[in-house]
Amino acid sequence: MVLGQPIHRFEEVTSTNAVALDLYHEGASEGTLVVADAQTRGRGRLGREWISPSGVNLYCSYILRAGNREWISWIPLIASMAIASAIQTKTKLNARIKWPNDVLIGRQKVAGVLAETVSNNGEIQSVILGIGVNVNMSKASLPSSLYCTTTSLSEHVAESIDRNQFLTRLSGELNVQYQKFWNDGMSDIIHEYLSISDTIGRRVIAYLPVGGPVDGWADGIELDGSLRLRRGQGDMAIIRSADIVHLR
Ligand code: BTN
């Protein structure tokens, strides 16, 4: 099995994750990749929209097999590592990861990951791994609410970047990480993730989906990919899902 084969290409879809899910139900094999030039209803984490203009960025989704829960929670983190490596190789830019899986150039987000599980009778059957990378998008086309927090690769390099070549590199990196994980388990991956994390060691605020914000020092990653925050007086908080703001 190779992640990224076969490839289904589309000019425009609602969301590549939605198309990959349909293909999964039609019997598509593990590794199948869906790529589109534009999305009309691109989905982001925590129910947000993913801005998906035509012809400039990368929007793609891979069909993956299911593993245990620990493994599934690492899929998006592994994907963010593969994106960061592909960026490093293709552009020499120093991409880093804001927990859990936002890829940053400097303080601005350049790529995101949305992993959605497919379940039957409570049992996870598959994971649809969606990846969006802002490749050649001009910042001028962004809504003002995203202008300060979002960037694209072409804002940092002299020429425009070939999206197909970038995708080939991304699939290559994803295959390396994926095989490493299945063969050797998590310990090496955690080590590597920590080395490109922009969050660990910083003071952060975690905005939880439910409940008030939690602040503390980002201290480490748990075996299931959760973020460990050190709070005052030796208290620890384990964050499973949140929007993180780096304070310094
Ligand atoms: C995030 O909020 O950071 C996740 C963004 C994920 C966007 C990608 S684009 C391809 C795939 N299809 C979608 O609808 N979303 C993901």
Please name the residue that has the structure tokens 């139900």: 25
Evaluate whether residue 212 is within a structural domain.
yes
Ligand 1 center–CA 196 separation, angstroms: 21
Q: Are residues 177 and 237 in the same domain?
A: no
| DSSP assignment of 167-220 | HHHHHHHHHHHHHHHHHH-SHHHHHHHHHTBSSTTSEEEEE-SSS--EEEEEEE
* Residue 112, SS3 per DSSP: strand
Percent of the chain with pLDDT over 70: 98
| pLDDT at residue 68 is higher than 80 | no
Average pLDDT estimate for 108-129: 93
Rounded to the nearest whole angstrom, what is the distance from the C-alpha of residue 33 to the centroid of ligand 1? Answer: 14
Residue 40 tokens read as 């009309």
* Residues spanned by the domain of 231: 203-246
**Ligand 1 centre distance from Cα of residue 181 (Å):** 23
Q: How confident is the model at residue 233 (pLDDT cuts 50, 70, 90)?
A: confident
Is pLDDT above 80 for 171? yes
Q: Tell me if 81 is assigned to some domain.
A: yes
Same structural domain, 30 and 114: yes
What mean pLDDT comes out for the span 222-237? 90
Mean pLDDT of all residues in 125-146: 93
Same domain for 152 and 207: no
- Which whole-number Å values give the CA distances from 235 to 76, 218, 248, in the listed order? 27, 12, 20
119 domain residue, yes or no: yes
**Same-domain check for residues 103 and 212:** no
**Residue 108: CB partners within 8 Å, gap ≥ 6?**
148, 149, 150, 151
134 three-class SS: coil
**pTM recorded for the entire structure:** 0.95
Ligand 1 binding pocket includes 4 (Cβ within 6 Å)? no
Give the pair of three-digit tokens for residue 41: 């209803």
Confidence label for 72 from pLDDT (cuts 50, 70 and 90): confident
Q: Is 222 part of any domain?
A: yes
